[in-house]
Amino acid sequence: MENKIFIHPTVEIEGAEIGEGTKIWHFCHIMKCKIGKNCTIGQNVFIQDGVVIGDNCKIQNNVSIYKGVVLEDNVFVGPSAVFTNVRKPRAKIKIAPENYNKTIVKKGASIGANATIVCPVEIGEEAMIGAGSVLTKNVPAGLTVIGNPAGILINDNRGIPFVVSFEEYYVKALRNNHKL
């Protein structure tokens, strides 16, 4: 079985390390980064230098991933999601790349379409970021967050889903002596 890399002829690559079996589709711009094995990079994706992408990741169309972002293995990023690397950007202020914020997306996490991931955050293993969400806080493993600003999706005692703020979630967990 062949495990070749596929790179569409319209892709611009600037010194990236790309793993076996990875497919990169139309009109992408890939700077000096590391992309793992068996990834799929949809059309019109921008990946800045210094980004690290693990194995088996799926990055859908029109996603922008900037320096300081790490996607571990098996991460899904939905169409038109965007990551930031400067918390308070200004056109007149130049920020040195070593001062960019970090964002880490842990193994198996999923980020929905049109989500905005505002740095610096860590998204836990198997966490889910709902479509259109604006994430500004760390997400513990296995939780689902939705909305703007993103809140934690939980179920009430009847099983009906509703959203609580991160603060409310943590206060309730501490009050009930739950481990986070």
Look at strands 121-123 and 58-59 and give their pairing.
unpaired
Domain count, the chain: 1
Question: pLDDT tens digit string along 36-49?
Answer: 999 999 999 999 99
* Residue 136 domain flag: yes
Residues of the chain with pLDDT under 50: none
CATH code, domain carrying 33 = 2.160.10.10
* Residue 162 domain flag: no
Residue 55, domain extent: 6-146
* Residue 65 domain flag: yes
pLDDT value at residue 4: 95
pLDDT value at residue 112: 98
* Residue 169 domain flag: no
pLDDT value at residue 2: 64
* Residue 37 domain flag: yes
Which residues make Cβ contacts (< 8 Å) with residue 24, sequence separation at least 6?
A: 5, 6, 7, 8, 11, 13, 18, 30, 35, 41, 45
Nearest to 112 by CA among 43, 67, 39, 63: 63
pTM of the model: 0.91
139: DSSP letter: B
